[in-house]
Structure 1
């Protein structure tokens, strides 16, 4: 279920983007690599919530970071956030990391109900 207000995460200060945090402030060189990979993959698997014209550059290395916003129904983030996590070790705040783990755990624990799909065959 999608919330009526999505929590924005992963926007950074830049030339025409004042008032946002700097990605460098979130770099965690001691972050567990396995957890970083899980969070990065979670971010890449969000569904497309919005598409914009133009590409956003990475504030650290300058590479093009896409033009989409992705969401999981609770949070919304630019598609390039996965790049910051994977390539620069930017660690999102703990509430987001915990949320990502909880969502992954919920999907892994969920049972499959085949009855509805089987009932569609006539």
Structure 2
């Protein structure tokens, strides 16, 4: 699993990246009340808005940490947005992207680097 400074995580399986927000981000948001999952078939660039998560505190964009085509959305979140709080780095994933440039993953942090980054916030 790799992480961004915007608190997204990426888990690569072959050339498909599963993307969600970290536990830190879910805790900071508070109770998630709505998720707009990514649109399947949409091409996104690294850093583009990928999905939207709304909590009782705020609405936030979820940014694509890699470029590619959205191949799957976690539609279960529309009926159970609280899954993002309950299991943000597991069942609370937002979508899957077929990665067009795997080298983009090299710029992301591993767990140890992300945990270190959190201490600077």
- Shared fold (TM-score, shorter chain, > 0.5): no
Q: Name the structure with the higher helix share.
A: 1
The structure richer in strand per residue is 2
Q: When the two structures are superposed, what TM-score results if normalisation uses the length of structure 2?
A: 0.28
